Amino acid sequence: MIYFWATLCALACGLTLWSQSKQRAWWAGLFKTLASISFFVPACIYLISHQQQTWSVLMVAAFGFSLLGDVLLIKTTNKRFFLLGLAAFLLAHLFYAGAFAWAGLRYPEAITTSVVVIAAMIGCYVWLYRHLTGTMKVAVPAYLTAIGLMLIAAMLTRHHAHQLIVAGAVLFALSDVFVARQRFVSPGFNNRLIGLPLYYAGQLVLLAALLSSSGT
């Protein structure tokens, strides 16, 4: 099943980028929504067929908030929608973190992992700081904290799909770097060209982790 949805997502992602390159905003929004539906729908199907176990519920909630964030960020120039989209993705990161933690954590590795991730988040904040104004001075640190929690939980989780979870979480986090670069540092189509495939690849890898699970 995942091959069909992954193919649909990849095709829709490609069409989104093509539409954006041609400045066809309506089509870009449509294809982007389709790409996001392509990871949300199979996650919901899995949830229904596995009796709403906690792992599945948390993961589907994360996929749902990711879908919401994608829709809200279709209008990338609207600050209000950007903040709402940021909030939706913040919740997505937190629900992912909750799902990964629910499967159990490797506590002996917690200190080293946390130090590395926290250092990376501080580095991102230092990089962005001079570009932030107004509410973004609060919103961005909060968002970076959520990303950090997700990455730490992904790297420490005891879930049997640990490698998929780490890969998906890292890809998701890397895509956020290009969103931040687009919004705050250096706008340009290259940010979307790199960031959007990274984002959908991350979501699909996390979907594969969910579908490989028996509800740990």
Query: Does some domain include residue 19?
Result: yes
Query: Does some domain include residue 60?
Result: yes
Q: Is the pLDDT of residue 34 over 90?
A: yes
Query: Does some domain include residue 134?
Result: yes
List the end-to-end C-alpha distance of the chain, in Å, as a whole number: 21
pLDDT single digits (tens) 64-99? 999 999 999 987 667 788 899 999 999 999 999 999
- The pTM of the whole model exceeds 0.85: yes
Range of the domain at 131: 2-211
Show the CA angle centred on residue 73, arms to residues 69 and 75, nearest 5°: 150
> By C-alpha distance, which of 38, 37, 49, 44 is closest to 59?
44
pLDDT single digits (tens) 129-161? 999 998 999 999 999 999 999 999 999 999 999
Q: What is the pLDDT of residue 215?
A: 43
Q: What is the pLDDT of residue 50?
A: 75
- Residue 39 · residue 9 · CB < 8 Å: yes
Of the pLDDT bands very low, low, confident and very high (cuts 50, 70, 90), residue 51 is low
Q: What is the mean pLDDT of residues 115-136?
A: 95
Query: Does some domain include residue 23?
Result: yes
Domains contained in the chain, number: 1
Query: Does some domain include residue 102?
Result: yes
Query: Does some domain include residue 216?
Result: no
Show the CA angle centred on residue 177, arms to residues 58 and 67, nearest 5°: 35
User: What does the DSSP 8-state code read for residue 153?
Assistant: H
Q: What is the pLDDT of residue 70?
A: 95
3-state class of 75 per DSSP?
coil
Query: Does some domain include residue 137?
Result: yes
Q: What is the mean pLDDT of residues 13-20?
A: 96
Query: Does some domain include residue 181?
Result: yes
